[in-house]
């Protein structure tokens, strides 16, 4: 199954590479296409949208790292997108002309180009570091503080250089975009080739180490090759900041950012679903008896309390039954505790298949069981309890997957709740009195609690043995 997923992701990557990226790169390399002023305002909008996307990706990537602390490469990738978002914010705030195509002057264009160059270079270098961390996990555990300091140092150094080269320190100058808005300087001084080489190496490392094994690495791989393709589109002395090639280069970066964000959002949703499932499983385990998978005593008492509150408001009668396995000590003494547990499992299995879906079955402890059943009167409550008793005695037709050493019988006490103001302790006690009355009168029978039975039981305080 995993190999199939790997192949599918690799096919998607190759499809994007050969059907979308390479044809468009070749087309814009040879075709010099300009766009009109009415479309130029899209550029600052793209920068703003990219800023929001990269900031969100950095945040989501950090969340993913905090969820999986040993994957330090996620922290590096988060840093890469965070740095990119900071550069984009600096671009928007520092150059007012970026908001209006008419207001951009030639000096600003080159400064913006320098800002974009250093942003792209720093992101590529951090991606490289992230892939090394992904490959050399043991290095991270030993030298993670050193790695953090090195990443911070590189980020600060690149930021300072970008600021100095952006017309702030005359001895340092770098021309990437000429006065007429062409990218000829990017290639004449070799900066474009260096940046393209770094992104190409990063792309190859991502492909080699990750094998594009899931949607996350597919998105990261497409991001890397999108940067390579974007630079390839800008190659040549005739490519202008107002050309369609320039805008498509930005579109590729935006598309890759959207893809990474979607993958991270899905991952967060998946983590949430898994966490919720684990919580529900844990909650279910906490309210179930581990041997029988019936509800435990605590859940039963909470359910009985809720049912009594419902009865006080709506007046719908119901019954409480308490059942006890007859002569259970004999099973343990003759056949051992393993077979005794098998008998308990059998009675629980029969209860689950004999009572209704709205009824609540539970194991009180030991060989004693209880249930809340829907019953309108004593006759219906008795019929339901007696059906359970008969089903327990008919083990051959039960469908139980275990083996019983001999037939099993149970004694059942039933109490119909008809009057308001009773507590759950009183309900259980009266059903328990009826169950012990069934034991005293011969076992393997059902006894319903009433006032006559209560007076008889007052004369017999001590319950009989199993």
Domain final position from 225, 256, 283? 283
Greatest mean pLDDT among 9-18, 60-69, 81-90, 93-102 lies in 81-90
Percentage of residues in the chain with pLDDT exceeding 70?
82
**C-alpha neighbours within 13 Å on the C-beta side of residue 404:** 21
% the chain with pLDDT above 90? 30
- d(C-alpha 393, C-alpha 58), whole Å: 65
Indicate the helix (H) or strand (E) that contains 252: helix 244-286
Quote the DSSP letter at residue 288. B
DSSP state of 235: -
Minimum mean pLDDT range among 56-65, 317-326, 455-464:
455-464
Tokens of 62: 């950090």
- Quick one: how many helices (H) and strands (E) in the chain? 17, 5
Q: pLDDT tens-digit profile of 380-429?
A: 999 999 999 999 998 887 788 888 888 999 999 999 988 777 888 999 99
Look at residue 169 and tell me if it is in a domain.
Answer: yes
Q: Is residue 131 part of a domain?
A: yes
Is there a domain that residue 99 lies in?
A: yes
Residue with tokens 């898994």: 274
Least confident of 86-95, 242-251, 292-301, 308-317: 242-251
Of residues 79, 98, 260, the one with CA closest to residue 156: 79
Answer whether 50's CB lies under 8 Å from 227's CB: no
What's the whole-number mean pLDDT along residues 271-275? 83
pLDDT number for residue 200: 93
20 or 444: which carries more pLDDT confidence? 444
Angle at 247 between CA 56 and CA 44, to 5 degrees: 55
Are residues 218 and 301 both part of a single domain? no
Tokens 């385990």 belong to residue = 285
- Domain containing residue 193: CATH number: 1.20.1070
- Sequence-distant (≥ 6) Cβ neighbours of residue 70 within 8 angstroms: 137, 140, 141
The pLDDT-based confidence of 320 (bands split at 50, 70, 90) is very high
Same domain, 76 and 190: yes
pLDDT exceeds 50 at position 63: yes
Checking if the pLDDT of 202 tops 90, the result is yes
Q: Is the pLDDT higher at 301 or at 235? A: 301
What is the distance between the alpha carbons of residues 449 and 466, in angstroms, rounded to a whole number?
19
* Domain presence at residue 182: yes
Does 354 lie in the same domain as 305? yes
Q: What is the mean pLDDT of the chain?
A: 82
Q: In this structure, are 28 and 169 located in the same domain? A: yes
Query: Which of 159-180 are b and which e, b meaning 16 or more Cβ less than 10 Å from the residue's Cβ?
Result: bebbbbbbeeeeeeebbbbbee
- pLDDT for residue 270: 83
pLDDT at 35 over 70: no
For the ranges 160-174, 187-201, 338-352, the lowest mean pLDDT is seen at 160-174
The confidence band for 43, taking pLDDT boundaries of 50, 70 and 90, is low
Check residue 8 and give its pLDDT: 65
Residue 466 located in a structural domain: no
Residue 198, CA atoms < 13 Å, CB-side half-sphere: 18
d(CA 234, CA 451): 95
Q: What is the pLDDT of residue 139?
A: 54
Whether residue 234 contacts residue 192, with contact meaning beta carbons closer than 8 Å, is answered with yes
Q: Are residues 43 and 105 in the same domain?
A: yes
Question: What pLDDT is attached to residue 114?
Answer: 86
**Are 318 and 448 members of one domain?**
yes
The token pair at 81 is: 């997108």
Residues 154, 130: contact at Cβ < 8 Å?
A: no
> How much is the average pLDDT of 344-369?
92
Statement: residue 289 has pLDDT above 80: yes
pLDDT band of 36, cuts 50, 70, 90: very low
Number of domains composing the chain: 2
Report yes or no on 347 lying in a domain: yes
What is d(CA 447, CA 456) in angstroms, rounded to the nearest whole number? 13
Answer whether 0.85 is exceeded by the pTM.
no
Query: Is there a contact between 187 and 239 (Cβ–Cβ < 8 Å)?
Result: no
The residue range of the domain holding 175 is: 2-283
Same domain for 277 and 302, yes or no, is no
Separation between Cα atoms, residue 440 and residue 464, nearest integer Å: 7
Q: For residue 454, what pLDDT is reported?
A: 66
Look at residue 266 and tell me whether its pLDDT is greater than 90.
Answer: no
> Does 342 score more than 90 pLDDT?
yes
User: Residue 97: which of 181, 158, 186 has the closest Cα?
Assistant: 181
Exposed / middle / buried, residue 85 (Cβ in 10 Å: 0-12, 13-18, 19+): buried
Instruction: Tell me how far apart the alpha carbons of residues 98 and 111 are, in angstroms, rounded to a whole number.
Output: 11
81, 210: one domain: yes
On whether both 175 and 313 belong to a single domain, the answer is: no
Q: Give the pLDDT band (50/70/90) at residue 53.
A: very high
Q: Based on the fold, state whether residues 188 and 99 are members of the same structural domain.
A: yes
Q: Judge whether 463 lies within some domain.
A: no
Q: Is residue 292 part of a domain?
A: no
Assigned token pair, 417 = 């709740």
Dist CA 430 CA 65 (whole Å): 57
The tens digit of pLDDT for each residue in 357-376 reads: 889 999 998 899 999 999 88
- Which of 250, 283, 316 is at the close of a domain? 283
pLDDT band with cut points at 50, 70 and 90 for residue 282: confident
Closest to 347 in 3D by CA, of 296, 299, 298, 395:
395
Asked if residue 162 and residue 275 are part of one domain, the reply reads yes
Q: What is the Cα–Cα distance from 86 to 82, expressed in whole angstroms?
A: 6
- Is residue 274 domain-shared with residue 395, that is, in the same domain? no
Structure tokens at 99: 């908001």
């Amino acid at each position: 199954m995993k190999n199939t997923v790997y192949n599918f992701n690799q096919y998607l990557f190759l499809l994007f590479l050969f059907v979308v990226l390479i044809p468009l790169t070749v087309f814009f390399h040879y075709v010099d296409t300009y766009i009109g002023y009415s479309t130029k305002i899209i550029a600052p909008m793209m920068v703003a949208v990219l800023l929001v996307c990269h900031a969100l990706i950095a945040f989501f990537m950090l969340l993913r790292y905090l969820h999986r602390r040993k994957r330090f490469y996620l922290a590096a990738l988060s840093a890469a997108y965070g740095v990119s978002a900071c550069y984009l914010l600096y671009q928007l705030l520092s150059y007012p002309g970026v908001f209006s195509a008419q207001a951009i002057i030639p000096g600003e264009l080159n400064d913006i180009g320098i800002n974009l160059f250093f942003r792209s270079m720093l992101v590529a270098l951090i991606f490289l570091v992230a892939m090394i961390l992904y490959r050399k996990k043991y290095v991270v555990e030993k030298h993670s503080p050193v790695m953090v300091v090195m990443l911070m140092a590189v980020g600060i150094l690149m930021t300072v250089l970008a600021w100095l080269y952006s017309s702030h320190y005359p001895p340092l100058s770098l021309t990437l975009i000429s006065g007429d808005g062409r990218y000829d300087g990017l290639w004449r001084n070799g900066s474009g080739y260096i940046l393209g080489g770094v992104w190409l190496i990063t792309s190859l490392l991502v492909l080699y180490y990750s094998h594009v094994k899931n949607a996350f690495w597919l998105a990261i791989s497409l991001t890397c090759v999108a940067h390579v393709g974007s630079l390839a589109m800008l190659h040549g002395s005739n490519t202008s900041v107002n050309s369609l090639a320039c805008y498509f280069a930005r579109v590729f970066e935006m598309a890759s950012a959207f893809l990474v964000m979607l993958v991270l959002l899905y991952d967060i949703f998946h983590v949430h679903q898994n966490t919720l499932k684990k919580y529900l499983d844990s909650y279910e385990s906490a309210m179930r008896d581990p041997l029988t998978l019936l509800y435990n005593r605590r859940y039963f008492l909470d359910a009985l309390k809720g049912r009594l509150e419902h009865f006080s408001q709506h007046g719908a009668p119901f019954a409480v039954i308490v059942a006890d396995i007859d002569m259970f000590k004999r099973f343990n003494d003759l056949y051992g505790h393993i077979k005794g547990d098998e008998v308990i499992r059998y009675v629980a299995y029969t209860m689950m298949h004999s009572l209704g879906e709205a009824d609540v079955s539970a194991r009180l402890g030991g060989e004693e069981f209880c249930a809340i059943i829907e019953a309108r009167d004593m006759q219906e409550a008795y019929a339901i309890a007696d059906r359970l008793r008969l089903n327990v005695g008919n083990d051959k037709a039960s469908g139980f997957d275990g083996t019983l050493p001999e037939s099993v019988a149970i004694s059942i006490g039933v109490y119909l709740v008809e009057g308001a103001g009773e507590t759950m302790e009183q309900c259980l006690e009266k059903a328990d009195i009826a169950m012990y009355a069934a034991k005293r009168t011969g076992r393997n029978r059902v006894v319903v609690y009433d006032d006559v039975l209560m007076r008889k039981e007052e004369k017999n305080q001590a319950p009989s043995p199993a």
